[in-house]
Structure 1
Amino acid sequence: MKAGINVYTSQGTADARGLSGHRLKIIRAMEQFQIGTWSILPFDIQHDVEEPLGFLLANTAGDKLVFLTDTYYCRHRFRDLTHIMVECNYSMDIVRERVASGHLHPGQMKRLLKSHFGLEHVKDFLKANDTRKVKEIWLLHLSDGNSDEKRFKREIQEVTGKLVRVAGR
């Protein structure tokens, strides 16, 4: 906002982060808005913060993108997507191994499971949605210790048959 960029966020997130000012744009789940040629539909997601949102974006060129991060589940289903950007933070086998070896506290594991999308849930999410038109799937927000970038990319490609990319950390 200090750089002159509008920030679109929920009231819960704005309050929690202490955001204010003329660049702050409060948005609500299931209330569509426009930015340029993009139509954006925020939707509720599950996370351990106030009023988290995911986003469905569509432009006039026919692209349709879902953006999902910082959630452990998405109840919404989507059709005609061309791009998927989804958190893939951890895998249960890696998390269990790290807890057993003492490298991850059981309390951290508990929070992780109630706040982030794991590989197994991402696969379920992708299977539950219409991916026929998808051109790319981007995996986001991989955990430094609880993920395996090459494995996650390979397994998502195997499940979907789509081009999968992993965002840099």
Structure 2
Amino acid sequence: MGGIDVRCLASGSAGNAYAVDDGESVLLLEAGLPTKKILSGFLPLLPRVAGCLITHEHGDHTCGAVGLAGRGIDLYATVGTFAGISGNVPAHRRHEVKVGVQFRIGSWIVLPFEAEHDAAEPVGFLLYSLVAREKLLFATDTYYIPNTFRSLNVVMVECNYSQDLLEENIKAGRIPRLLKNRLLRSHFSLDNVKAFLAANDLSECRKIYLMHLSGGNSDPGRFKREIQELTGIVTMVCGKGGDACGPPPEGWG
């Protein structure tokens, strides 16, 4: 394996589950599908899974977390996130993380950073593989990222909606106007993603993954094209995939 390999099992308001593999250790990112779906979806990788990182407590990111812990997979999240997870995580599988305090899991160095979302203590993760010698950024469910990052090789970033499509849906009555304020204060728009990418060092970046696209307020083909044209970097869109734990909130899709 020449570098970090990314697997997108599910992405969106109905469920999120990803894996990153450096050839030695695998990290699961989010646990937002039923446990059996996560285990079956990542079956070939399971013997090398070193842990599961969780950004925040919402069900589309955690509904399979307790089940994963019960199957012997360690969970890594903030105190606020653990407090909001439904169900009991065994103490020996619970690893509390803090913004700005790096730690090691398997062949990975992990640095949590601050995110902005309507959750108790949300974070994103900067990952460095000691094997692949590559750096990966994972940021989802945030409307703002206060940090900038150097020498990123892979970027996984939420690109939830575009302002123009959101306004069209509101005017057409497909989405309640009240939802607009929540979106603006909890999720990354296409314009915000562009600004974020422009502010960071992508000189060594080889691939960008767009995550958590809204079913009704996004256009995957357009988003991919615009980000790729802006950056000159190969861009992929993570599909919804998987069977969700439950329906997404109204208007999110």
Q: Measure, in 2, the Cα distance between the counterparts of 1:104 and 1:168.
A: 22
**What amino acid sits opposite 1:161 in the alignment?**
G
Give the AA of the match of 2:155: I
Post-superposition Cα deviations, 1:117-164, rounded to whole Å, max 9, x if no partner, equal 010000000000010100100000000111000000000001100000
Match of 1:83 among 133, 151, 154: 154
Question: What residue ranges of structure 1 are gaps of 5+ in the alignment?
Answer: none
Pairwise CA distance, 1:2: 1.8
Following superposition, the deviation at residue 106 of structure 1 comes to 0.8
Counterpart in 2 of 1:4? 72
The normalised TM-score by structure 1 is 0.98
SS at match of 2:70: coil
For residues 211 and 123 of structure 2, the distance between their equivalents in structure 1, rounded to whole angstroms, comes to 16
Residue of structure 2 in register with 1:26 after alignment:
96
CA–CA separation in structure 2 for the residues paired with 1:12 and 1:111: 20
Greater RCO, CA 8 A, separation 6+: 2
CA deviations on 1:54-94 (whole Å, 9 max, x unpaired) are: 00001123110000001001010001000000000000000
Q: Does 1:104 align with 2:182?
A: no
Q: Matches of 1:168 and 1:24 in 2, distance apart?
A: 29
Following TM superposition, the consecutive aligned residue runs of length 4 or more in structure 1 with deviations greater than 6 angstroms are: none
**1:167 equivalenced with 2:238 (yes/no):** yes
CA distance in 1, matches of 2:178, 2:94: 35
2: CA distance, partners of 1:113 / 1:83: 26
Structure 2: segments with no counterpart, 5+ residues: 1-68, 241-253
Report whether the alignment pairs 1:16 with 2:87. Answer: no
Shift of 1:20: 3.0
Among 43, 51, 54, the residue aligned to 2:121: 51
Bigger CA drift: 11-20 or 85-94? 11-20
The normalised TM-score by structure 2 is: 0.66
SS at match of 1:34: strand
* Structure-2 residue corresponding to 1:131: 202
CA distance in 2, matches of 1:165, 1:20: 33
- Percent identity, aligned pairs only? 47
Displacement after TM superposition at 1:168 (Å): 1.6
* CA RMSD across the alignment: 0.8
Aligned length: 169
